[in-house]
């Protein structure tokens, strides 16, 4: 279970968000708005943050540590899809398409995460349309980059006979 930690000052939270590439180009005012709806969680190594099929109700930003994104493959066990580190974002897909989680997320090592709930995210974007535009374009850029990376991996696997 996630351990809640005390909330840092607004300025500290804004600085944390400013170091996340997902929020590149956002104004200090926009970062301040986002900071207001974040909470912080800590997870010990091996802790399940969410699992495949869970409702997608949170977006996570890694402040410290690493998180492993994986899927269980029948007859083979866990297949790691990515190991993410500080400054990276995960869990964003479910916030956009309201589908269940498409993979598992576990603390690969002890980690501190900033968390934005789906409800807070939706409210923030509804109330601040210009912020919504910027955040959603950041999300599109990140998802496009991940899709390109997946295409490269599939091409490698296909040409190397491992697929």
Q: Is 26 helix (H, G, I), strand (E, B) or coil?
A: coil
For 5, residues 6+ apart whose C-beta sits below 8 A from its C-beta are 40, 41, 42, 112
Q: Does residue 146 form part of some domain? A: no
Report the pLDDT value the prediction gives residue 33, as an integer from 0 to 100: 92
Would you say 91 and 55 are in contact if contact means Cβ atoms under 8 Å apart? no
Q: Does residue 140 form part of some domain? A: no
Query: What token pair was written down for 72?
Result: 């269980």
Q: Does residue 126 form part of some domain? A: no
What is the domain extent for residue 19?
Answer: 3-118
- CATH (domain of 29): 2.60.120.10
- pLDDT tens string 59-93: 999 999 999 999 988 888 888 889 999 999 999 87
What percentage of the chain has pLDDT greater than the value 70?
93
Distance CA(73)–CA(10), nearest Å, equals 42
User: Which whole-number Å values give the CA distances from 29 to 33, 35, 147, 155, in the listed order?
Assistant: 6, 10, 31, 42
Would you say 17 and 114 are in contact if contact means Cβ atoms under 8 Å apart? yes
Instruction: Give 40's strand partners.
Output: 114
Distance CA(61)–CA(85), nearest Å, equals 9
pTM (two decimals)? 0.81
Q: Does residue 109 form part of some domain? A: yes
**Total structural domains within the chain:** 1
Q: Is the pLDDT of residue 24 over 60?
A: yes
Report the pLDDT value the prediction gives residue 8, as an integer from 0 to 100: 64
Q: Which of 58, 61, 66 is nearest to 113 (CA)?
A: 61
Computed over every residue of the chain, the mean pLDDT equals 87
Q: Does residue 153 form part of some domain? A: no
């Amino acid at each position: 279970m996630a351990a809640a930690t005390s909330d840092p000052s607004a300025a500290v939270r804004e600085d944390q968000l400013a170091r996340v590439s997902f929020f590149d180009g956002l104004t200090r005012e926009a970062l301040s708005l986002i900071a207001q709806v974040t909470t912080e969680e800590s997870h010990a190594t091996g802790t399940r943050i969410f699992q495949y099929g869970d409702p997608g109700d949170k977006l996570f930003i890694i402040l410290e540590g690493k998180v492993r994104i994986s899927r269980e493959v029948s007859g083979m066990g866990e297949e790691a899809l990515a190991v993410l580190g500080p400054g990276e974002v995960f869990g964003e897909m479910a916030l956009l398409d309201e589908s269940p989680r498409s993979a598992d997320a576990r603390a690969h090592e002890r980690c501190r995460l900033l968390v934005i709930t789906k409800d807070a995210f939706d409210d923030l974007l509804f109330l601040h349309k210009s912020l919504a535009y910027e955040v959603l374009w950041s999300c599109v850029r990140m998802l496009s980059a991940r899709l390109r990376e997946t295409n490269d991996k599939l091409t490698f696997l296909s040409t190397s006979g491992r697929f």
